[in-house]
Amino acid sequence: MTTPEGASLEDLKIRFENNLYYGTPARGFWVWGVPWRKARVYRSLEEAAADLKILSDCYLDDLPFPNTHARDFRLPENHRVFGVGCYPQGNIPGVTLGMIPDRRTTSMGEDK
C-alpha cells in the first residue's frame, strides 16, 4: 500500500480507540512527530484529541507497575484496564504480565 504525499491523518483513516495512556506531566502527555522534525507536545489527552482528531474513547490513568526495570508489568486485579479490554493478552518473552491479587481478601474471598 502506498501513501499519497501530503495525505492528512483523516485521509489515512488512522484511529486510536479505547486506549489507556500514561503520561508524565513534566515531559508532556503526548509527543507527536519524528525525531528529525519538530514534534508537537500536548499537555493533555483532550488537547491531543482535539488537534489530531484520531483519538476516540481514550483515557489517562495511573499504571502502578511493580517493577518496570525488571519488566514486571502486572497491575492490581481491580485496575480498570482489565474491565475495558486494553491490557495485553498472551505471553511476551522476558515480560511478566497479569493481575496482582488483592491482598485484602483470602482465597475464600473473605476480608481478613
Domain boundaries, the chain: 9-60, 61-106
**What are the pLDDT tens digits along the chain (112 aa)?**
566 777 777 788 888 888 888 765 555 677 888 888 888 888 888 898 899 888 888 887 888 899 999 999 999 999 888 888 788 888 899 999 999 998 776 455 555 4
How far, in Å, CA of 77 to CA of 79, rounded?
6
Give the Å distances, CA to CA, from 54 to 17, 33, 88: 8, 14, 21
Q: What is the DSSP letter of 68?
A: G
Amino acid 112: pLDDT: 46
CA–CA distance, 106 with 82 (Å, rounded to integer): 21
Cα distance between residue 102 and residue 76, in whole Å: 7
Report yes or no: 75 and 82 within 8 Å, Cβ to Cβ.
Answer: yes
Can you give the pTM of this predicted structure? 0.59
